[in-house]
Amino acid sequence: MERRVVVTGVGLVTPLGIGVEESWSGLIAGKSGVGEITRFDTSDYATKIAAEVKGFNAEDFMPKKEAKRTETFIAFAIAAARMAIEDSGLKIDPSNGHRVGVLTGCGLGGLSMLELTAHTVEHKGPNRVSPFFIPLIIGNMAPGMISIQFGAKGPNSSVATACAAGAHAIGDAYEIIKYGKADAMISGGVESVITRTGIAGFCAMKALSTRNGDPQRASRPFDKDRDGFVMGEGCGMVILESLDHALARGAKIYAEMVGYGMSGDGYHMTSPPPDGEGAARCMQAAIDDAGIQKHQIGYINAHGTSTPLNDLYETRAIKMVFGDLAKSVPISSTKSMTGHLLGGAGGVETVITALTLTRGILPPTINLDNPDEECDLDYIPNVARKADITYAMTNSFGFGGTNASLILKKYFA
């Protein structure tokens, strides 16, 4: 028997702030988290901007000794998980720990530690490498450390599907609960790769915006003048529970998760197919899984990276799925404010999507000043919009042609 699954807690670490309220208020105000890169000298870089997390102190979320030896992406994950657990009121102890799992997504893992260690080997020799090197670069150490911190001993796994990783992780966690393998899951996506090699690699692909003189206007999904994505970092986590489990403990419920779609483009290493066919099949799969009609979708949190091809092809995919209804569906790309968090995007955007259902406000796509003629849908330009919606979808698409779509429903007691 399939079980209903609900969201009972949320946590955010984003370029807009530490915590859900600070991040959400920034989104609704149309605030940009993009600025000049402060982590390293960008003199030789074509791109000198990113959406960095500011004011984060790992010691606020873990013991000082542990904080000093924890890679940034792991610290973000622990922080957001702690926020989500505390928000949900979920008590994890030896009596139920084996029924609470952790599943997170991450695209690149501990890139800063990898850079540092490569430098150490080159200049000081292999005997100077930290014994923590391997544990701190592998993506599954995020769910591993969350499990250790909070005593969650149920299913423990990680997903590495590039920019779809966070959404895939949450979708997989949803199905674990749906089919009875756990009662609750801590799930989301995390990334922190604003590093020398991270930025250099995406610069080499010419994927990043070079609007260095006007960073807050650089991420502009669906705008005619978009010139690439802006790298972001951070983490979004949700607590998923079976409805019965949540009700039994009197938990507040943000939303119900009702649909999960996956697909592969089978087309190109980095580019989606021009007609958006793979993304369209993914969205349709989520709608079918939810058992609803496409006209019931009241909002789409788009992948919307601000790259010339992605935004156009996602627009075509939405038209393929929704047909004549496409122009009436409100859509926004919150990456216009947070930048693109790669593997962390799906986690952050799932939290945002859940909040749109509970708070009745749809965040805008900022910097949409000169719409692309071929991107002609309702992208909620520049100003947030009040809306009472029942179903919302969030899309995440990644390199390698991997796609994920999630559908959340407003919870009615």
- Indicate whether 19 belongs to any domain: yes
pLDDT given at position 312? 97
Select from 95, 71, 97 the least CA-distant residue to 85. Answer: 97
CA atoms within 13 A on the CB side of 119: 8
Is residue 411 situated within a structural domain? no
pLDDT of the residue at 149: 96
Q: Could you write out the DSSP letters of every residue in 152-186?
A: --S-EEEE--GGGHHHHHHHHHHHHHHTTS-SEEE
17 three-state secondary structure: strand
Q: Tell me, what's the pLDDT at 80?
A: 98
pLDDT given for residue 43 in this prediction: 97
Q: Is residue 198 part of a domain?
A: yes
Helix/strand/coil for 97: helix
Gap between the Cα atoms of 98 and 163, Å rounded:
30
Q: Is residue 2 part of a domain?
A: no
**Catalytic choice (106, 163, 203, 235):** 163
Give the CATH number, domain containing residue 105. Answer: 3.40.47.10
User: Would you call 282 a catalytic residue per the annotation?
Assistant: no
pLDDT at 271: 87
Res 93 pLDDT > 80? yes
Number of domains in the chain: 1
Asked if pLDDT for residue 306 goes beyond 80, the answer is: yes
Catalytic residue among 203, 245, 303, 375: 303
Q: Does 408 reside within a domain? A: no
The residue from 235, 282, 340, 375 that is catalytic is 340
Q: Tell me what the mean pLDDT of segment 293-308 comes to.
A: 98
User: In this structure, is residue 320 part of a structural domain?
Assistant: yes
pLDDT of residue 247: 98
Instruction: Indicate if 98 belongs to the active site.
Output: no
123 a catalytic residue: no
Domain assignment of residue 407, yes or no: no
Average pLDDT over residues 221-249: 98
Find out whether 11 and 81 touch, Cβ atoms under 8 Å.
Answer: yes
pLDDT 10s digits, 341-384: 999 999 999 999 999 999 999 999 999 999 999 999 999 999 99
- The mean pLDDT of 112-122, rounded to a whole number, is 94
**Residue range 112-134: mean pLDDT, rounded:** 94
Tell me what the pLDDT averaged over the chain comes to. Answer: 97
Residue range(s) defining the domain that contains residue 231? 7-401
**CA quadruple 302, 340, 276, 350: dihedral, nearest 10:** -40
pLDDT at 68: 86
Q: Check whether 403 has a pLDDT greater than 90.
A: yes
pLDDT at 54: 97
Question: What is the average pLDDT across 266-274?
Answer: 91
204 belongs to a structural domain: yes
- List, for residues 52-76, the tens digit of each pLDDT value: 999 999 999 999 988 988 999 999 9
Going by pLDDT thresholds of 50, 70 and 90, the confidence category of residue 1 is: confident
